[in-house]
Structure 1
Amino acid sequence: MEIIGYILSIFIGIILGLLGGGGSILSIPILVYFFKIDAVLASAYSLFIVGITSFIGAVPKYKDHLVSIKAGLLFGVPSILSIFATRKWLIPAIPEIIIQFDTFVLTKRFLLLALFAVLMIIASISMIAAKKETEEVEKDPRIFLAIVEGTLIGFLTGLVGAGGGFLIIPALVFLTGLPFKTAVGTSLFVIAINALTGFLGDVFNYVMDWPFLLSITALASLGILIGNRLTKVISGVKLRKAFGWFVFVIGILILLRETLFAPQSL
């Protein structure tokens, strides 16, 4: 199982490179189910893996003029305090057993994984529904909405350990009018800021297995370099639709596993 987990780690980066998001959709299930890591610690590991990988992937896209620093900072800065506070104070404050009465027990593990799965399903629907790729014209950002969106994305990133790419990209296109490929590059820049900021809130709360964490990150980083190259030959619309179905199925499987097949973990 661990060997399969290491192989799948490469796809964390490939997905990030191709879509500008989705790394955590693979990293958290890989860490939890293939390496048997606790869901809360897995969300912390995911932030580091996705953050470093996104930063590495953003560099070549910046050189190709596919990163809008202005739009990235507009989303990234408001989310920094939100995500750091969430990881530093909110996550540790959630008890391992949240609700318990009779035979029903709601645990922190189930809450985080279920919320993560629901976000996956919601994100997948928008990708599946996309019928064509539009070329938007970059416009002045809607500053207030961008700040609100950035803060919300930071909170969700901190809560479930996800980079938030599938929330960031639609927001970038809608609020700033960035073309899709530029939104992908900018999303990697924002994800790197968000994820690494969130990880800083975890460094003081958990003992990190650095050799393991760095090995997974190295594999994911290799994957994002592959993904960056594949963007030049693969249709973004077809890829988003196919990955949308993949995300939908994984989200459903996580919910089924945590409810039907592991009722004691609720």
Structure 2
Amino acid sequence: MEYFGYLASIIIGLSLGLIGGGGSILTIPILVYLFKIDPKLATTYSLFIVGITALSGCFSHYKMGNLKMKSALYFAVPSVFSILIIREVIFLKIPNVLFTIDDFQVTKNFLIMIIFAVLMMAASFSMIRKTNSNIQSAGTNYWQLAFIGAIVGIVTGFLGAGGGFLIIPALLFFANLPMKQAVGTSLFIIFINSSIGFMGDLYIGTAIDYPFLLTISSIAFFGMLIGTQLSKKLDGDKLKPIFGWFILVMGIYIIIKEIFLK
């Protein structure tokens, strides 16, 4: 299964490069099911993998003029505060076993995977649904942008997800950015959020397998290079529905596996 995991890791970067999100949606299932990593630790690994991969994409999009720093900072700063509160305070207080129903234990790991599956399905619907990315608001609403940034920080803190599927619509409709600039700016925000979350985990003493982590990150980085180049030639809006159906199937699979195949 590990060989499939290494191959699937390319898709993490490919997704980030093409549509500016979706990398973390894939990272957690790949780490948990293909590499058999504990879900809690997988959220930490996901932060590093997605963060470092997004950083590599930032440089390419910056050169193409697709990174809007002011909008990124208004979004990222409240996200950082949410991440630190969730990851370093609330997350640590959640017990490993929440409660038991008959002989079935609802654990923290089970909760992580179920919430992640629901998140995947919600993300898939937003990707499958046809939207006009050229529709823009009258101007940038920085207060709403900051509020959504705080919400994305909660998602990032709890699940180790970059939240690209939330960031992209926010940048389109509240920051008044066209699609390609939303992708480039989203990658920068994902890098900031993921990096802060990962460094917080290092601070509390999470044990890291660096050779493994760097290997997966390198493979995802290769996928990012491919995705960034393809983004110059392909329309990300046309790729989103295909990726959305793939994510939907994966979300359904996780729910079935966690509830019925344990």
Name the TM-score, length of structure 2 as normaliser: 0.96
SS at match of 1:15: helix
Query: What does residue range 124-203 of structure 1 map to in structure 2 within 5 Å?
Result: 124-131=124-131, 133-136=132-135, 140-203=139-202
- Aligned counterpart, 1:111: 111
What's the CA shift string for 1:123-169, capped at 9, x where partnerless? 111111115x4324586421221111111100111111100000000
Q: Secondary structure at the match of 1:238?
A: helix
Q: How far apart, in 1, do the equivalents of 2:137 and 2:62 lie?
A: 16
Check conservation: 2:71, 2:142, Cα contact below 8 A.
Answer: no
**2:257 paired residue number:** 257
CA drift at 1:100? 2.1
TM superposition score normalised by structure 1: 0.94
Q: What code does the residue aligned with 2:153 have?
A: G
1:212-231 counterparts in 2 under 5 A?
212-231=212-231
Structure-1 separation of matches of 2:75 and 2:99: 35
Structure 1 unaligned regions, length at least 5:
none
Work out the CA distance in 2 between the residues paired with 1:259 and 1:25: 19
Q: Give me the whole-angstrom Cα distance separating, in 1, the residues matched to 2:21 and 2:101.
A: 39
Cα separation, 2, equivalents of 1:246 and 1:123: 11
Q: For residue 220 of structure 2, what is the amino acid of its counterpart?
A: A
Q: Distance in 2 between matches of 1:59 and 1:235?
A: 20
C-alpha separation in 2, matches of 1:43 and 1:108:
12
**Structure 2 CA distance for aligned equivalents of residues 7 and 139 of structure 1:** 43
Contact 2:112 2:159 in 1 (8 A): yes
SS state at 1:205 partner? coil
Letter in 2 for 1:214: L
Distance in 1 (alpha carbons) for counterparts of 2:126 and 2:8: 25
- Report the AA paired with residue 213 of structure 1: L
Q: Is the 8 A contact 1:88 1:205 kept in 2?
A: no
> Matched residue of 1:219: which SS?
helix
After superposition, the CA RMSD in angstroms is 1.3
TM-fit CA distance, 1:176? 1.2
User: What does residue 244 of structure 2 align with?
Assistant: 244
Q: What's the offset of the Cα at 1:248? A: 0.7
Secondary structure of 1:41 counterpart:
helix
Gaps of 5+ in 2: none
| Corresponding residue of 2:2 | 2
- How far apart in 2 are the matches of 1:100 and 1:253? 23
8 Å contact kept, 1:138–1:178:
no
Secondary structure (helix, strand or coil) at the match of 1:106 reads strand
- Identity rate, percent: 49
Cα deviation for residue 238 of structure 1 reads: 2.0
